[in-house]
Amino acid sequence: MTSLWRVSVRVPPDRSEATRATFVALAPKGFEESDVDGELELALYAAADELGSLRARLPEATVARVEEGWEDAWRVFHRPVEVAGIWLGPPWETPPDPSCAVVIDPGRAFGTGGHPTTRLCVELLARIASRQSLLDVGCGSGVLVIAAAKLGFAPAIGVDSDAHAIAAAEANAAANGFELDFRHADARVDPLPAAELSVANISEELVAAVAPRLDCRLLVTSGYFEPHAPQLPGFRTIGRRKLDGWAADLHARE
């Protein structure tokens, strides 16, 4: 079994937003967050060969090897949620109604759908009446593409620059009874398929870089904190959802 390391940082409240932003960049599909003695503790899990780059980005971090039984602790972190009538959760939890469930195996890196930005994106998707083609930029575990397919969007396509994410997304789609289109691509430079609706749950910086390259009528964006609002030439914002300090926006082509 591959050894795993827990990389954690504790910061006072006035540094929480900047530190969260760093963790979003390092682990965009999920990290731990808890209140410890009045400070915010953020933690992610990494393999030994990732520690050098993480220490460079997080010089104040505490690094500890995860002892035997880490799988159970990791499972405790990934809890199911219900969003817009869809149950999102890991395979070791039992959904009350399998027909309304999206079951996602997070592996070590990609998350199951419990992060506020994922939940906000699903909420916005559920409010869109015309459920035609969809493109998810930075699809990770595939949770948003699979949730979109469950809501009736078709065809539903996901792209990600991480080949491991694509493999995880394909496996998760199959486990949910879907054969979906996932593509290994860098959305900043590679050609992207046209879609009626695009989703970009990545970061504010990447949203701004990718949006001009999208051929879509509607665009859902997230991956940034509530005070932030991406300015996207060619789009106007027509809706916003907020949860736990995070935000997601719905934009329409002008």
| CATH number where 37 lies | 3.30.70
**64: in domain:** yes
Q: Are 22 and 31 in contact (CB under 8 A)?
A: no
Are 227 and 130 in the same domain? yes
Looking at the domain assignment, is residue 95 inside a domain? no
Please report whether residue 82 resides in a domain: no
Query: Helix-strand-coil percent breakdown of the chain, rounded to 5?
Result: 30, 30, 40
Pairing of β 246-253 and β 86-89:
unpaired
Give the 3-state secondary structure of residue 79.
Answer: coil
Taking only the tens place, the pLDDT of each residue in 155-165 is 999 999 888 78
- 230: helix, coil or strand? coil
Tell me, yes or no, whether 102 lies in a domain.
no
Name the one residue in this structure whose structure tokens are 């505490």.
Answer: 62
The pLDDT tens digits of the residues spanning 52-101 come to: 999 999 999 999 988 766 556 656 667 789 999 999 998 888 999 999 99
Domain count, the chain: 2
Which helix H or strand E contains 116, and what residues bound it? Answer: helix 116-126
Mean pLDDT of all residues belonging to the chain? 88
Please choose, from the candidates 81, 78, 22, the residue with its C-alpha nearest in 3D space to the C-alpha of residue 203: 22
Choice between 28 and 204, residue whose per-residue pLDDT is larger: 204
What's the CATH number where 129 sits?
A: 3.40.50.150
Residue 240, domain extent: 120-253
Residue 85 lies in a domain: no
pLDDT in tens, 104-118: 886 644 556 778 899
pLDDT of 67 reads 72
